[in-house]
Amino acid sequence: MKTSDRNTRVTVTRNGPYLVTGDLSLCEQTIGTGSDGESEEWIEKILPSPGPKFALCRCGHSNNKPFCDGSHARVGFIGTEVAARTMYLDQAEAFDGPFLALLDVESLCAFARFCDPKGQVWSQVAKTDDPEVRATFIRQVQNCPSGRLVVWDKARGSAIEPELAPSIGLIEDPAEGCSGPLWLRGGIAVVSADGEEYEVRNRMTLCRCGGSRNKPFCDGTHAAIKFRAK
């Protein structure tokens, strides 16, 4: 669904950290909520550049988060990758609307909850002939960090994606009292420990709490275990 700069990538190491290469900025991405507690916006804070090569913790135990400090070896972290290598479009369930469809791969859910306001996006898609509903629907779907949800333009036969510069976000979720996954934005290649490249997508979330059952991708476990990176 997306092409990548071949020099910019995240490599999953066997039972170890993510090795990042390329000119990628780090930023803190906080889920901002409204008065009703529902997810409404991303609040971004740019962080100092870590340099062209660095290692990010994926076991959840580093004392130097988000960076690796070797704790994975001390705790005996098992980071076996189990996520499907199937292309997104081959996995997605489609929910039809008059001009747009909603594509959904539930296994990629990172529990950011931008899909919930305004009656949930699964209900909105049938009403996207209304310009106001359509704008809300597109905004909420595009705020899904994992790319679980995608807006599909039926006439063009292609996704409607936000323009995102390649960067890595460190998600913070104050409403849930926890830290979330690593948010890869803008089509960053992810290479498995066995050397195979996952499909490049515009929005992806990688587990950094160590508990996901869909490694290397986030499955929302950080919220259940109240993972804290700070």
List pLDDT tens digits, range 178-210.
999 999 999 999 999 999 999 999 999 999 999
Q: How many CA atoms lie within 13 A of 132 on its CB side?
A: 1
Residues 18-69 have pLDDT tens digits of: 999 998 999 999 999 999 999 999 999 999 999 999 999 999 999 999 999 9
* Nearest residue to 65 via CA among 73, 55, 75: 55
Question: Residue 3 above 80 pLDDT?
Answer: no
pLDDT at 178: 98
| CA 63 vs CA 10, 54, 60, 69: distances in Å | 21, 16, 9, 7
pLDDT at 7: 81
**pTM summary value:** 0.96
